[in-house]
Structure 1
Amino acid sequence: MTTAARPLLVLIAGPYRSGTGDDPELMAANLRTLERAAWPLFQAGHLPVIGEWVALPVLHSAGADVHSPLADQVLYPTAERLLAHCDAVLRLPGESTGADQDVAIARQRGLPVYTRLEDVPGVVVPAVA
């Protein structure tokens, strides 16, 4: 495990619902894509976080899911509130209104926005053979 000079709380942002037609299997696949970035960040000494890790339990505790009208009142605001505590954003590829909002908020707050995992301080991405 490498350790960054200063551990960062990094929001991993990218498509979750976008382009899925709210198909649960496609949303789960998108979440797995976001989660793949978590281990390298953690190995580098950072604390990765994904908005859906926080928002989905909040939504479920209200008796709702992503298909509920309540979803838009929980998903985006959760990410915005979470960003108040984050040190950086890792924006993964793919169209996503929510991830674009996360990036805009991060930039307004002067937070670094990384678009490649290997650009996050301390992260080493193994070469692909």
Structure 2
Amino acid sequence: MSEQLMILVAGPYRSGTNDDPVLIQRNVDAMEDMALAVFRRGHLPVLGEWFALPLLRRAGSRAIGDAVFDQIFHPVARELIGKCDAVLRVGGPSSGADDMVATGRRHGKRIFHDLSEIPERRR
């Protein structure tokens, strides 16, 4: 039996959306669909958004990209990578997701670019 991994799913959040909430939600939905697939392979998926978005609401962020957003959104995901075993990069162009991959590499984490690269684990 392979070891269970905690895997950060990193993909576009704002990229290509012009900050349109409907398009941002599509990006989040795509990452969450991948998170479910990771879970079904026997691993524990996480998204930085799951941690950052509630904090942003509590911290008083009023708009994507405001000062509060910039203080919390990517820094939370970077911290989360330190607790994860791997990063799965999904979706299209995204400087933020690319930053998560680079951060993962600096921390010596495994980097996956396709779900098929993640070993299946039986529970």
Larger fraction in helix:
2
| Count of paired positions | 120
Whichever residue aligns with residue 85 of structure 1, its letter is K
Q: Which residue of 1 aligns with 2:33?
A: 36
Shift of 1:89: 0.5
Q: Which residue of 2 aligns with 1:14?
A: 11
Q: Which residue of 1 aligns with 2:109?
A: 111
Q: Write out the 4+ residue segments of structure 1 that deviate beyond 4 Å after TM superposition.
A: none
Percentage of pairs with the same residue: 45
TM-score, scaled relative to structure 1 = 0.88
TM-score, scaled relative to structure 2 = 0.92
**Match for 2:60 among 58, 63, 75?**
63
- Does the C-alpha gap of structure 1 residues 56 and 65 become closer, same or farther in structure 2, counting only changes over 3 Å? farther
Whichever residue aligns with residue 16 of structure 1, its letter is Y
Quick one: distance in 2 between partners of 1:66 and 1:114? Answer: 31
Q: Which residue of 2 aligns with 1:95?
A: 93
Quick one: distance in 1 between partners of 2:4 and 2:62? Answer: 33
Whichever residue aligns with residue 100 of structure 1, its letter is D
Shift of 1:23: 0.7
- Does the C-alpha gap of structure 1 residues 52 and 15 become closer, same or farther in structure 2, counting only changes over 3 Å? same
CA contact (8 A) 1:56 1:65 kept: no
CA contact (8 A) 2:60 2:68 kept: no
Shift of 1:65: 4.4
Whichever residue aligns with residue 119 of structure 2, its letter is P
Quick one: distance in 1 between partners of 2:91 and 2:36? Answer: 18
1:65-80 paired onto structure 2 within 5 Å: 65-67=62-64, 68-80=66-78
**1:120 equivalent in alignment to 2:121:** no
Quick one: distance in 2 between partners of 1:83 and 1:118? Answer: 21
Shift of 1:5: 1.3
Structure 2: unaligned runs, 5 residues or longer: none
**1:47 equivalent in alignment to 2:35:** no
